[in-house]
Structure 1
Amino acid sequence: MQVSHECERIVCRWALRISWRAVIVTFLCFVIFLYMMFTMVNDRYIHHLTWYEQPAPCVTPKFIMDRMIELTFAVSNLLTKLNISHVICYGTLWGALRNGKILPWDNNVHFCLLKNDIQKVPWHTLQENFRASNLDLSYDVRHGEYIVTQGPAQAILSVFYLTPYDEIFQDGFEHRLMWFFQDNPVSFPSRLIESPFNTVLFHGQPLPVPHDGIEILKYLYKDDWWLVKPPPGCPERAR
């Protein structure tokens, strides 16, 4: 019994030395760890389909497509006005290089830009300028993307940052903290998005594109960059 009481006194003494701040910090770290592990398992093993492998209409309705075209140039003009270098990328670049317009099945337009450029503009200034053009702007901190919407149309502004090794990586805490869990983290040489840029005609108007044309798509779509990827069950050229 005496040994038992002595053990209890030792435990109590150590418990009193542990501050509530340490307990709270430890608990928060544990919660963050669980969230990161859940995100990894969810993205890799449960919802691991890329966007072009998910069911979607073969042809985007015309009224949505028209709004997407308007949104593309509205966003590009605003970014130019704010001196934020940008290029079209991902599926939007594919459509521009392939036939000079949005792919028939696309449901958004996509831009790529550098974090150093957009961070020069305060958040409230960004919001005010987009709001003045009747555009809603939000930021997805997890994926490092600005989301611009106007009615049914959506534009995604993917933010990238430059490393000391002259490589570009995608921003967002998930990409920064969990890159070692990703099969193919997105990265490419910085020269591909160094301004000034060339332009291509997109729905009859010039838009900035990355250097070397299709080269950046080899990094964005590493395994199948050369393939046209309509939604499952759709012909390559949707009517």
Structure 2
Amino acid sequence: MQVMQKCERAVGRFASRVSWKSVTATFFCFVLSLYLLFALINDRYIHHHAWYERPAPCVTPQIIMDGMVELTFSVTRLLSKLNISHVICYGTLWGALRQGKILPWDNNVDFCLLKNEIEKVPYSTLQAEFKSQQIDLTYDHRHGDYIATRGPAQAIISVFYITIYDEVFKDGLEHRLMWFFQDKPVSFPARLIESPFNTAMFHGQQIPVPHDGIEILKYLYKDDWWLEKPPIGCRSPN
């Protein structure tokens, strides 16, 4: 009992000497340290390797490829119907510019648009419109992406926000919180994805593309934008 009483008195004296400001500052430093550690691990080890540096099938099964083509045009029709300006981007744009179709090894289709464009339409309306075409639409808060899925086919709608310097950055909690710690945050001039757009031939139809052709790819793939990069162990059809 005496030991317990001594411990209680010691804890009481310590608590009386520690102010709430000190506790708050210590807690803040602890959280900040965890954040910095996570940012370092995330940037150096999780997102350091591009998708094409990871193992993947050399050729996407035809049933999935057909579904991706149909989904691409369904998404662009829906976004156009809702007056949401958008373009194809990332690997989908590379496929359109080089081959006029989806790259043989690609496993989804990519769109890019501005945050102020898609926010013109309530999320519930977006979901209802996509659902009317048998497309499930969800929002990934972490990465700032809308995910459109129909059967085995998937489309990633990447959202970007404009800064006061007319530059865009990737939206999403992870990108907004960690851009300062990333070696190469995704950003490019806003004009590249501001409407009106030109179009390119894609699987026999015209589809909106960013301004200046491949210019946006120089920002999205900064180190090797000029290369066609199939997955590891796969040969380019060219």
Give the letter for the 1:73 counterpart. Answer: F
1:89-147 deviation line (CA, Å, top 9, x unaligned): 00000000001100000000000000001111111111111111111111111111111
Q: Secondary structure at the match of 1:103?
A: coil
Give the letter for the 2:16 counterpart. Answer: R
Q: Secondary structure at the match of 2:214?
A: helix
Q: Secondary structure at the match of 1:95?
A: helix
**Aligned pair 1:193/2:193, yes or no?**
yes
Q: Secondary structure at the match of 1:147?
A: strand
1:165-185 deviation line (CA, Å, top 9, x unaligned): 011111111111111221111
User: What is the RMSD computed on CA atoms of the aligned residues?
Assistant: 2.6
Q: Which residue of 1 aligns with 2:69?
A: 69
Q: Which residue of 2 aligns with 1:175?
A: 175
Give the letter for the 1:192 counterpart. Answer: L
TM-score by length of 2: 0.88
Q: Which residue of 1 aligns with 2:122?
A: 122
Rounded to whole Å, the distance in 1 between the matches of 2:131 and 2:100 is 29
Q: Which residue of 1 aligns with 2:92?
A: 92
- CA shift, 1:71, in A, is 0.3
Give the letter for the 2:218 counterpart. Answer: K
Distance 1:179 1:62, change over 3 A: same
Distance 1:182 1:7, change over 3 A: same
Structure 1 runs not aligned, ≥5 long: none
- CA shift, 1:28, in A, is 8.7
Q: Which residue of 2 aligns with 1:157?
A: 157
Aligned residues: 231
Q: Give every structure 1 segment of 4 or more consecutive aligned residues whose post-TM-superposition deviation is greater than 4 Å.
A: 4-10, 25-33
TM-score by length of 1: 0.88
- CA shift, 1:10, in A, is 4.4
Rounded to whole Å, the distance in 2 between the matches of 1:5 and 1:65 is 69
Matches within 5 A, 1:94-109: 94-109=94-109
Structure 2 runs not aligned, ≥5 long: 1-6
Rounded to whole Å, the distance in 2 between the matches of 1:87 and 1:28 is 41
